[in-house]
Homo-oligomer: A and B are copies of this chain.
Amino acid sequence: MNKPHDFADILSVVHDVTEKIPFNQVLGLTVESLDLDHPTVRLSMQEQLIGNFIRGSLHGGVISSTLDFMGGLVAFLSVLKSLQGQPLQAMAERFARIGTIDLRVDYLRPGIGRHFIATGYVLRTGKKVSVTRMELHNDERQLIAVGTGAYTVA
């Protein structure tokens, strides 16, 4: 039996996978914290992410992309325990294979800010499906959008 990986190793796997996803690079998504109770992902405002050029606010698709990534991340963290002892490569593949079944996003306020923080948590993880809730705040701690998603984790 392999010895359990250091948390630092797992963190490093998640960072690697996150950054290997081409569209995450376009968005500039970075995993800020993998605290199991309060993971956070950061999105910095860029000119090219604007959807409403009158208000200078984020495109709705940038918001849903970020919340979708956050949902997949917390779904992955919820199955991490069951992966203890597996090679890091297997963990990375498992993370990369998590799939979104469906996602609802509620747009509450215009996405205006210098940067944005996504958070999320798992409502329930079963054998096949994980259901998650996500939130996006701007740098003034205003709630910009929320999401709920179902993800395959099998």
Contacts and interface: CB of A to CB of B under 8 A. Distances in A.
A74 B13 CA distance: 41
Interface string A10-45: 000000000011111111000000000000000000
Interface residues of A, number: 51
Given A60-B65, A69-B61, A96-B53, A123 B107 contact: no
28 contacts: A21-B50, A21-B51, A22-B47, A22-B48, A22-B49, A23-B50, A23-B59, A23-B61, A24-B51, A25-B48, A53-B96, A54-B97, A60-B68, A60-B100, A61-B65, A64-B64, A64-B103, A99-B107, A101-B107, A102-B150, A103-B105, A106-B123, A106-B148, A106-B150, A108-B124, A129-B152, A146-B148, A150-B150
